[in-house]
């Protein structure tokens, strides 16, 4: 499925020029797909050389590619969300029953920190990769190998240090996959399909997380966590292999890349933060995902401590909540992706979505009852669906440069990893200091969603 020419309807020879000119000029992008700056700038020599493999018109993607691309992104939920919300809390409570909260905080936050470093680094290295397989495919393969090894180590872990080592490996692998698979959107997907595929990629991790929860609770014994890890390992590997079979990339010629200068390479990780809209999106995403991770990480503990459910019943409760929430999320995200393309707007969907998330969390904080939990799942899922439906499309619009899309998208993914780091630290501190006051914890998560909405307002290059 080589990236070759198309009929004139879908050929977009100017799209990558747009990626350089409109992103390079502050305020030039009006938010309209395909809009160009009135005074386009020439790309730098580094940017032009790094794009030699993708200057041809982008090929329309068929249904098989779209499905397998989505499956590859779902690995983020299969091997991360399912672990963080179900397998890891249960495993930590079995390994360290007298020090569960502190041990869970250590493993979850250090693993997330590893992902925080891995995503932009592997994304940047993929931007410069010249292997005949292409730029992203070798790193996707590296990511799944690290994920499989890490999860198998976690499956057999009987001590917290061993569990931590496996979590670090698994998180590095998952986050490498997420950053490089997402970078394929500006690399390979034409504008006519970008809104839909961005929406699917945005929601895929959440769908994968729910699928993982359903598979683990239905097909394994939740008291034997090794069964769950083994199942997630196999499903994750199958998803990535299927995508690699249909993914085709043309390699970059080594001589077209400028020499690697370590100082310039490292400085490149901080340069995008000087672009205001990029920084607003980064912080807004961090706040939105902080709400999501706080809810996800402590939902099992909430069901055990507040609603007084047994471990199997609490595991079923987590699955029910996520299944209901993600069903609503799925419908809303796909609808939002299609509707945003028609109305040529992104910001209103993100803003309204974040506020709906806050409403769901406040309901959960104020009414500790099962029916309130289910209602909160609908509100939170609907809001997060609105958010995720345009989240990736918004992120791609504010990228400072197409030449470093892998690195810059990796930096935007650090918003998720920052949330994963902060959520166990904030959650652990709040519960320790407030004697397990989950209402306070969920109220703070709601405030984080409101802040996420407020940060969308100042963005100028996207409507």
- For the chain, how big is the Rg over CA atoms in Å? 21
Helix (H) or strand (E) holding 169: helix 160-188
The tokens describing 243, both together, are 């995508």
Query: Residue 39: inside a domain, yes or no?
Result: no
What is the rounded CA–CA span in Å between residue 380 and residue 329?
8
Please enumerate in sequence order all residues whose Cβ is within 8 A of that of 188, keeping only pairs 6 or more positions apart, or say none: 3, 54, 58, 59, 61, 249
Name the one residue in this structure whose structure tokens are 């703070």.
444
The tokens describing 85, both together, are 């919300």
Query: Residue 50: inside a domain, yes or no?
Result: no
What is the rounded CA–CA span in Å between residue 117 and residue 71?
24
The tokens describing 196, both together, are 């839909």
Query: Residue 14: inside a domain, yes or no?
Result: no
Which domain CATH number covers 173? 1.20.1250.20
Please enumerate in sequence order all residues whose Cβ is within 8 A of that of 293, keeping only pairs 6 or more positions apart, or say none: 84, 419, 420, 422, 423
Task: For residue 457, count other CB atoms closer than 10 A to its CB.
Answer: 11
Nearest residue to 326 (alpha-carbon basis) of 112, 4, 6, 82: 82
What is the rounded CA–CA span in Å between residue 222 and residue 36?
53
Segments of the chain scoring below 50 in pLDDT? 1-56
What is the rounded CA–CA span in Å between residue 160 and residue 168?
12
Q: From the DSSP assignment, how many helices (H) and strands (E) are in the chain? A: 17, 0
Evaluate whether 195 touches 141 at the Cβ level (below 8 Å): no
Please enumerate in sequence order all residues whose Cβ is within 8 A of that of 63, keeping only pairs 6 or more positions apart, or say none: none
Please enumerate in sequence order all residues whose Cβ is within 8 A of that of 251, keeping only pairs 6 or more positions apart, or say none: 53, 130, 131, 132, 133, 134, 135
Nearest residue to 457 (alpha-carbon basis) of 277, 274, 289, 202: 277
pLDDT at 403: 63
DSSP 3-state of 100: helix
Query: Residue 308: inside a domain, yes or no?
Result: yes
Nearest residue to 234 (alpha-carbon basis) of 207, 210, 216: 216
Number of domains the chain is built from = 1
pLDDT at 256: 65
pTM for the full predicted model: 0.68
Query: Residue 214: inside a domain, yes or no?
Result: yes
Which domain range does residue 284 map to?
Answer: 63-251+272-456
Query: Residue 234: inside a domain, yes or no?
Result: yes
Backbone torsion region of residue 436, taken as left when φ is above 0, otherwise alpha when ψ lies between -120 and 50, otherwise beta: left
Query: Residue 13: inside a domain, yes or no?
Result: no
What is the DSSP code string of 369-398?
A: SHHHHHHHHHHHHHHHHHHHHHHHHHHHHT
386-416-441 Cα angle (round to 5): 80
Evaluate whether 79 touches 174 at the Cβ level (below 8 Å): yes
Query: Residue 215: inside a domain, yes or no?
Result: yes
pLDDT at 48: 40
Evaluate whether 347 touches 29 at the Cβ level (below 8 Å): no
What is the rounded CA–CA span in Å between residue 309 and residue 132?
54
pLDDT at 362: 92
What is the rounded CA–CA span in Å between residue 90 and residue 144?
24
């Amino acid at each position: 499925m080589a990236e070759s020419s198309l009929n004139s309807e879908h050929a977009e020879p100017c799209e990558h020029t747009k990626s350089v000119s409109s992103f390079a000029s502050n305020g030039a992008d009006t938010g309209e797909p395909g809009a160009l700056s009135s005074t386009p700038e020439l790309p730098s020599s580094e940017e032009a050389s790094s794009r030699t493999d993708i200057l041809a018109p982008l090929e329309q993607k068929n249904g098989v590619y779209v499905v397998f691309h989505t499956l590859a992104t779902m690995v983020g939920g299969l091997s991360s969300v399912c672990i963080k919300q179900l397998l890891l809390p249960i495993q930590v409570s079995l390994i360290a029953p007298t020090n569960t909260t502190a041990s869970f905080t250590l493993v979850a936050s250090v693993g997330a920190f590893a992902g925080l470093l891995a995503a932009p680094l592997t994304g940047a290295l993929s931007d410069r990769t010249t292997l005949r397989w292409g730029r992203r495919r070798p790193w996707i393969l590296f990511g799944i190998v690290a994920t499989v090894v890490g999860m198998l180590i976690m499956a057999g872990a009987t001590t917290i240090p061993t569990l931590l080592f496996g979590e670090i490996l698994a998180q590095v692998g998952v986050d490498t996959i997420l950053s490089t698979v997402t970078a394929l959107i500006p690399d390979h997907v034409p504008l006519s399909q970008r809104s839909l595929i961005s929406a699917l990629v945005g929601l895929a991790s959440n769908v994968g997380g729910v699928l993982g929860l359903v598979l683990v609770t239905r097909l394994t014994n939740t008291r034997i966590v090794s069964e769950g890890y083994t199942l997630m390992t196999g499903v994750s590997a199958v998803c990535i292999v299927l995508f690699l079979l249909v993914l085709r990339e043309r390699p970059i010629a080594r001589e077209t890349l400028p020499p690697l200068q370590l100082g310039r390479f490292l400085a490149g990780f901080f340069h995008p933060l000087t672009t205001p809209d990029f920084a607003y999106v980064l912080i807004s995403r961090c706040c939105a995902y902080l709400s999501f991770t706080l809810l996800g990480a402590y939902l099992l503990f909430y069901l055990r401590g507040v609603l007084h459910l047994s471990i199997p019943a609490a595991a079923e409760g987590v699955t029910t909540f996520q299944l209901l929430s993600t069903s609503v999320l799925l419908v809303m995200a796909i609808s939002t992706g299609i509707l945003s393309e028609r109305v040529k707007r992104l910001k209103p969907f993100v803003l309204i979505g974040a506020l709906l998330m806050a409403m769901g969390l406040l309901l959960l904080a104020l009414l500790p009852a099962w029916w309130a939990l289910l209602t909160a799942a609908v509100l939170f899922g609907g809001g997060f669906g609105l958010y995720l439906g345009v989240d990736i499309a918004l992120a791609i619009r504010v990228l400072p440069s197409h030449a470093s899309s892998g690195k810059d998208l990796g930096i935007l993914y650090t918003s998720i990893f920052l949330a994963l780091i902060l959520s166990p630290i904030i959650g652990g501190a709040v519960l320790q200091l407030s004697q397990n006051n989950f209402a306070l914890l969920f109220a703070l998560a709601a405030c984080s969603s409101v802040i996420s909405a407020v940060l969308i307002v100042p963005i100028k290059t996207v409507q």
